[in-house]
Amino acid sequence: MPDLSGRWSREHIGFDPPLSGTGPIVNRSRLRSGQSNPRQLVGDYTNPVLKPQASEIVRQRAETGLTTVPAPSPSNQCLPMPPPFILQWEQIQVVQQGGQITILYADDHQVRHIRMNQMHPARLIPSWHGDSIGWFERDTLVVDTIGIKVGANSMMDWFGTPYSEALHVIERYRLIDYEAARQAIQRGEKENLHLDPNSGLGYGVAVDPNYKGKALQVQFTVEDDGTLTMPWSATVTYQRPLGDWMEIVCAENTRRTGAKGDTETSVPTASKPDF
Protein backbone atom coordinates (compact mmCIF):
# COMPACT_ATOMS: atom_id res chain seq x y z
CA MET A 1 0.00 0.00 0.00
CA PRO A 2 1.61 3.30 -1.05
CA ASP A 3 2.00 6.17 1.40
CA LEU A 4 0.11 9.10 -0.13
CA SER A 5 0.00 11.10 3.10
CA GLY A 6 1.25 14.61 3.67
CA ARG A 7 0.95 17.98 1.98
CA TRP A 8 0.83 18.33 -1.79
CA SER A 9 0.75 21.45 -3.94
CA ARG A 10 0.53 22.68 -7.52
CA GLU A 11 1.17 26.11 -9.01
CA HIS A 12 -1.73 25.93 -11.48
CA ILE A 13 -5.52 26.11 -11.27
CA GLY A 14 -7.41 23.92 -13.71
CA PHE A 15 -7.27 20.43 -15.19
CA ASP A 16 -4.42 18.87 -17.16
CA PRO A 17 -5.53 17.08 -20.37
CA PRO A 18 -5.49 13.27 -20.35
CA LEU A 19 -2.85 11.32 -22.24
CA SER A 20 -5.57 10.07 -24.56
CA GLY A 21 -9.33 10.14 -25.00
CA THR A 22 -11.91 12.85 -24.41
CA GLY A 23 -10.73 15.68 -22.20
CA PRO A 24 -12.51 18.44 -20.26
CA ILE A 25 -14.08 21.64 -21.57
CA VAL A 26 -11.40 24.20 -22.50
CA ASN A 27 -11.30 27.98 -22.88
CA ARG A 28 -12.24 29.46 -26.28
CA SER A 29 -10.53 32.72 -25.31
CA ARG A 30 -6.80 32.43 -26.00
CA LEU A 31 -3.77 34.68 -25.65
CA ARG A 32 -1.44 35.29 -28.59
CA SER A 33 0.80 32.58 -27.18
CA GLY A 34 -2.04 30.10 -27.59
CA GLN A 35 -2.51 29.77 -23.84
CA SER A 36 -5.86 30.04 -22.11
CA ASN A 37 -6.81 33.63 -21.30
CA PRO A 38 -7.38 33.70 -17.50
CA ARG A 39 -9.19 37.06 -17.72
CA GLN A 40 -11.88 35.66 -20.00
CA LEU A 41 -13.38 32.31 -19.03
CA VAL A 42 -15.23 31.34 -22.20
CA GLY A 43 -15.99 27.63 -22.10
CA ASP A 44 -16.15 25.77 -25.41
CA TYR A 45 -19.91 25.26 -25.62
CA THR A 46 -19.52 23.61 -29.05
CA ASN A 47 -17.78 20.59 -27.51
CA PRO A 48 -19.80 17.49 -28.53
CA VAL A 49 -19.40 16.07 -25.03
CA LEU A 50 -22.14 18.50 -23.89
CA LYS A 51 -25.83 17.73 -24.26
CA PRO A 52 -27.85 20.63 -25.78
CA GLN A 53 -29.16 21.96 -22.47
CA ALA A 54 -25.69 21.86 -20.89
CA SER A 55 -24.19 23.49 -23.98
CA GLU A 56 -26.65 26.38 -23.68
CA ILE A 57 -25.73 26.93 -20.03
CA VAL A 58 -22.02 27.02 -20.88
CA ARG A 59 -22.76 29.38 -23.80
CA GLN A 60 -24.65 31.81 -21.57
CA ARG A 61 -21.85 31.77 -19.06
CA ALA A 62 -19.33 32.27 -21.88
CA GLU A 63 -21.09 35.53 -22.80
CA THR A 64 -20.56 36.73 -19.24
CA GLY A 65 -16.95 35.59 -19.45
CA LEU A 66 -16.36 38.07 -22.27
CA THR A 67 -17.14 40.94 -19.91
CA THR A 68 -15.12 42.20 -16.95
CA VAL A 69 -17.63 40.79 -14.47
CA PRO A 70 -16.92 37.21 -13.36
CA ALA A 71 -19.84 34.80 -13.50
CA PRO A 72 -20.83 33.28 -10.14
CA SER A 73 -19.11 30.04 -9.18
CA PRO A 74 -18.65 28.01 -5.99
CA SER A 75 -15.27 29.72 -5.62
CA ASN A 76 -16.24 33.39 -5.88
CA GLN A 77 -19.53 32.81 -4.04
CA CYS A 78 -17.73 31.10 -1.14
CA LEU A 79 -19.78 27.91 -1.53
CA PRO A 80 -18.80 24.25 -1.11
CA MET A 81 -16.77 22.95 -4.05
CA PRO A 82 -17.90 19.49 -5.12
CA PRO A 83 -15.77 17.11 -7.17
CA PRO A 84 -14.60 17.43 -9.86
CA PHE A 85 -14.66 21.26 -9.42
CA ILE A 86 -12.52 21.08 -6.27
CA LEU A 87 -9.82 19.08 -8.09
CA GLN A 88 -8.84 22.26 -9.97
CA TRP A 89 -7.34 23.89 -6.91
CA GLU A 90 -3.86 24.09 -5.48
CA GLN A 91 -3.24 22.64 -2.02
CA ILE A 92 -4.32 19.38 -0.43
CA GLN A 93 -3.29 17.33 2.56
CA VAL A 94 -3.88 13.58 2.61
CA VAL A 95 -4.39 11.78 5.93
CA GLN A 96 -4.31 7.97 5.70
CA GLN A 97 -6.06 6.10 8.50
CA GLY A 98 -7.17 2.51 8.93
CA GLY A 99 -10.68 2.59 7.52
CA GLN A 100 -10.71 6.08 6.09
CA ILE A 101 -8.69 8.52 4.02
CA THR A 102 -9.28 12.21 4.63
CA ILE A 103 -8.38 14.88 2.08
CA LEU A 104 -8.06 18.44 3.40
CA TYR A 105 -8.23 21.41 1.02
CA ALA A 106 -6.65 24.73 1.94
CA ASP A 107 -9.43 26.67 0.21
CA ASP A 108 -12.06 27.46 2.83
CA HIS A 109 -11.16 24.47 5.05
CA GLN A 110 -13.05 21.98 2.91
CA VAL A 111 -12.78 18.30 3.77
CA ARG A 112 -13.59 15.05 1.98
CA HIS A 113 -13.94 11.72 3.80
CA ILE A 114 -13.30 8.52 1.85
CA ARG A 115 -14.60 5.35 3.47
CA MET A 116 -12.32 2.46 2.60
CA ASN A 117 -13.50 -0.95 1.39
CA GLN A 118 -17.20 -0.20 1.86
CA MET A 119 -20.29 0.14 -0.31
CA HIS A 120 -22.39 3.17 -1.12
CA PRO A 121 -25.55 3.20 1.04
CA ALA A 122 -28.72 1.91 -0.62
CA ARG A 123 -30.56 5.11 0.32
CA LEU A 124 -28.18 7.99 -0.24
CA ILE A 125 -28.81 11.58 0.85
CA PRO A 126 -27.00 13.93 -1.57
CA SER A 127 -24.28 16.17 -0.12
CA TRP A 128 -21.93 18.76 -1.59
CA HIS A 129 -18.92 16.46 -1.66
CA GLY A 130 -20.98 13.34 -2.27
CA ASP A 131 -20.49 9.86 -0.85
CA SER A 132 -16.94 8.64 -1.50
CA ILE A 133 -15.72 5.08 -1.10
CA GLY A 134 -12.21 3.89 -1.85
CA TRP A 135 -9.99 0.88 -2.27
CA PHE A 136 -6.43 0.15 -3.37
CA GLU A 137 -5.60 -1.54 -6.66
CA ARG A 138 -1.92 -2.35 -6.17
CA ASP A 139 -0.21 1.08 -6.06
CA THR A 140 -3.33 3.11 -6.86
CA LEU A 141 -6.03 4.52 -4.59
CA VAL A 142 -9.37 4.40 -6.41
CA VAL A 143 -12.09 6.76 -5.16
CA ASP A 144 -15.69 6.35 -6.35
CA THR A 145 -18.04 9.29 -5.64
CA ILE A 146 -21.79 9.58 -6.23
CA GLY A 147 -24.63 11.45 -4.53
CA ILE A 148 -23.25 14.93 -5.23
CA LYS A 149 -25.78 17.63 -4.42
CA VAL A 150 -27.04 19.95 -7.18
CA GLY A 151 -27.47 23.66 -6.43
CA ALA A 152 -27.90 27.01 -8.17
CA ASN A 153 -24.16 27.52 -8.72
CA SER A 154 -22.97 23.90 -8.81
CA MET A 155 -20.69 23.11 -11.74
CA MET A 156 -17.93 20.76 -12.89
CA ASP A 157 -15.38 23.43 -13.78
CA TRP A 158 -14.84 27.18 -13.79
CA PHE A 159 -16.52 27.40 -17.22
CA GLY A 160 -19.84 26.54 -15.59
CA THR A 161 -20.34 23.06 -17.05
CA PRO A 162 -23.45 21.87 -15.18
CA TYR A 163 -24.05 18.46 -13.68
CA SER A 164 -27.10 16.48 -12.60
CA GLU A 165 -27.82 14.07 -9.77
CA ALA A 166 -26.39 11.35 -12.03
CA LEU A 167 -22.86 12.76 -11.69
CA HIS A 168 -20.32 9.99 -11.06
CA VAL A 169 -16.63 10.75 -10.48
CA ILE A 170 -13.90 8.12 -10.32
CA GLU A 171 -10.45 9.28 -9.14
CA ARG A 172 -7.23 7.29 -9.25
CA TYR A 173 -4.41 8.54 -6.98
CA ARG A 174 -0.89 7.23 -7.49
CA LEU A 175 2.73 8.27 -6.98
CA ILE A 176 4.75 8.99 -10.12
CA ASP A 177 8.40 9.89 -10.64
CA TYR A 178 9.71 13.43 -11.09
CA GLU A 179 10.11 13.30 -14.87
CA ALA A 180 6.58 11.99 -15.45
CA ALA A 181 5.23 14.74 -13.19
CA ARG A 182 7.19 17.42 -15.06
CA GLN A 183 5.80 16.26 -18.40
CA ALA A 184 2.23 16.15 -17.07
CA ILE A 185 2.50 19.70 -15.72
CA GLN A 186 3.86 20.92 -19.06
CA ARG A 187 0.89 19.37 -20.88
CA GLY A 188 -1.45 21.44 -18.76
CA GLU A 189 0.35 24.79 -18.98
CA LYS A 190 -1.61 25.99 -22.03
CA GLU A 191 -4.95 25.38 -20.33
CA ASN A 192 -4.32 26.30 -16.71
CA LEU A 193 -3.88 29.51 -14.77
CA HIS A 194 -0.36 29.68 -13.38
CA LEU A 195 -0.10 31.13 -9.89
CA ASP A 196 3.21 32.89 -9.37
CA PRO A 197 4.01 32.35 -5.66
CA ASN A 198 5.97 35.62 -5.69
CA SER A 199 3.07 37.70 -7.00
CA GLY A 200 0.93 37.51 -3.89
CA LEU A 201 -1.71 35.48 -5.77
CA GLY A 202 -0.20 32.06 -5.16
CA TYR A 203 -1.35 31.69 -1.54
CA GLY A 204 1.89 29.95 -0.63
CA VAL A 205 1.53 27.18 -3.21
CA ALA A 206 5.15 27.24 -4.36
CA VAL A 207 6.54 23.77 -4.95
CA ASP A 208 9.97 22.81 -3.69
CA PRO A 209 12.33 23.24 -6.68
CA ASN A 210 14.94 21.03 -5.06
CA TYR A 211 12.62 18.08 -4.46
CA LYS A 212 13.05 15.40 -7.12
CA GLY A 213 11.12 12.66 -5.37
CA LYS A 214 7.71 11.21 -6.06
CA ALA A 215 4.76 13.38 -7.09
CA LEU A 216 1.06 12.66 -6.55
CA GLN A 217 -1.05 12.39 -9.68
CA VAL A 218 -4.83 12.11 -9.83
CA GLN A 219 -6.36 10.67 -12.99
CA PHE A 220 -10.13 11.04 -12.93
CA THR A 221 -13.13 10.31 -15.12
CA VAL A 222 -16.46 12.16 -15.04
CA GLU A 223 -19.74 10.56 -16.10
CA ASP A 224 -23.17 12.22 -16.13
CA ASP A 225 -26.03 10.93 -18.28
CA GLY A 226 -27.99 14.07 -17.44
CA THR A 227 -25.58 16.61 -18.99
CA LEU A 228 -22.90 14.73 -20.95
CA THR A 229 -23.05 12.66 -24.12
CA MET A 230 -19.95 10.70 -23.06
CA PRO A 231 -17.49 10.57 -20.15
CA TRP A 232 -14.46 12.85 -20.09
CA SER A 233 -11.15 12.51 -18.25
CA ALA A 234 -8.37 14.73 -16.96
CA THR A 235 -5.43 14.71 -14.57
CA VAL A 236 -3.97 16.94 -11.86
CA THR A 237 -0.42 16.57 -10.59
CA TYR A 238 0.84 17.68 -7.18
CA GLN A 239 4.39 18.08 -5.89
CA ARG A 240 5.79 18.71 -2.44
CA PRO A 241 5.33 22.36 -1.36
CA LEU A 242 7.45 25.04 0.20
CA GLY A 243 6.22 27.14 3.09
CA ASP A 244 3.45 26.59 5.58
CA TRP A 245 -0.12 25.41 5.14
CA MET A 246 -2.00 28.61 4.37
CA GLU A 247 -5.33 29.60 5.86
CA ILE A 248 -7.57 30.68 2.97
CA VAL A 249 -10.92 31.79 4.34
CA CYS A 250 -13.88 32.60 2.11
CA ALA A 251 -17.07 33.33 4.03
CA GLU A 252 -20.55 33.63 2.55
CA ASN A 253 -21.72 37.22 2.86
CA THR A 254 -24.15 39.78 1.47
CA ARG A 255 -22.13 40.41 -1.69
CA ARG A 256 -23.07 38.42 -4.79
CA THR A 257 -21.13 38.47 -8.05
CA GLY A 258 -23.02 37.99 -11.29
CA ALA A 259 -23.71 39.23 -14.79
CA LYS A 260 -25.16 42.49 -13.41
CA GLY A 261 -22.19 43.15 -11.19
CA ASP A 262 -21.86 43.01 -7.43
CA THR A 263 -25.18 43.31 -5.65
CA GLU A 264 -26.35 43.27 -2.06
CA THR A 265 -28.64 40.52 -0.86
CA SER A 266 -30.83 40.65 2.19
CA VAL A 267 -29.57 39.11 5.39
CA PRO A 268 -31.99 36.63 7.04
CA THR A 269 -33.50 38.22 10.14
CA ALA A 270 -35.42 36.40 12.86
CA SER A 271 -38.87 37.89 13.41
CA LYS A 272 -39.09 36.45 16.93
CA PRO A 273 -36.70 34.90 19.47
CA ASP A 274 -35.91 31.20 19.11
CA PHE A 275 -36.58 30.65 22.81
Residue 105 inside a domain? The answer is yes
Alpha carbon distance 28, 65 (integer Å): 10
Q: With a cut of 50, say whether residue 25 has pLDDT above it.
A: yes
What's the domain range around 111?
A: 6-260
In the three-class reduction of DSSP (H, G, I as helix; E, B as strand; rest coil), residue 260 is classed as coil
Rounded-to-integer distance, Cα 40 and Cα 255, Å: 22
pLDDT value of residue 77: 85
pLDDT score for 247: 76
Q: In residues, how long is the chain?
A: 275
Q: What is the spatial distance between Cα 73 and Cα 60, in angstroms, rounded to a whole number?
A: 14
* pLDDT tens per residue, range 166-195: 999 999 999 999 999 999 988 888 888 777
| pLDDT bracket for residue 144 (50, 70, 90) | very high
Q: Does 266 map to a domain?
A: no
Q: Tell me if 1 is assigned to some domain.
A: no
Per-residue pLDDT for 92 more than 50?
yes
For residue 30, what is the DSSP state? B
Q: For the ranges 37-51, 69-83, 186-200, 228-242, which has the lowest average pLDDT?
A: 186-200
Distance in angstroms (rounded) separating the CA atoms of residues 127 and 106: 20
Q: Which residues contact 188 (CB under 8 A, 6 or more apart)?
A: 12, 14, 15, 16, 17, 235, 237
- For residue 273, is it within any domain? no
For residue 238, being part of any structural domain is answered with yes
pLDDT tier, 215 (very low <50, low <70, confident <90, very high otherwise): very high
> What 3-state class would DSSP assign to 184?
helix
> Number of folded domains in the chain?
1
Q: Which residue has the higher pLDDT, 70 or 62?
A: 62
User: Is the CB of residue 60 less than 8 Å from the CB of residue 67?
Assistant: no
Residue 179 domain flag: yes
Res 263 pLDDT > 70: no
pTM (predicted TM-score)? 0.88
Average pLDDT, the chain: 88
Confidence band, pLDDT 50/70/90 cuts, at residue 265: low
What pLDDT, on a 0 to 100 scale, did the predictor assign at position 180?
94
Examine residue 271 and state whether it is found in any structural domain, yes or no: no
pLDDT at 140: 97
pLDDT of 203 over the 60 cut: no
Distances (CA, A) of 114 to 9, 13, 219, 243, 258: 20, 23, 17, 27, 34
Contact of 86 with 236, CB cutoff 8 Å: no
Quick check: is 83 in a domain?
yes
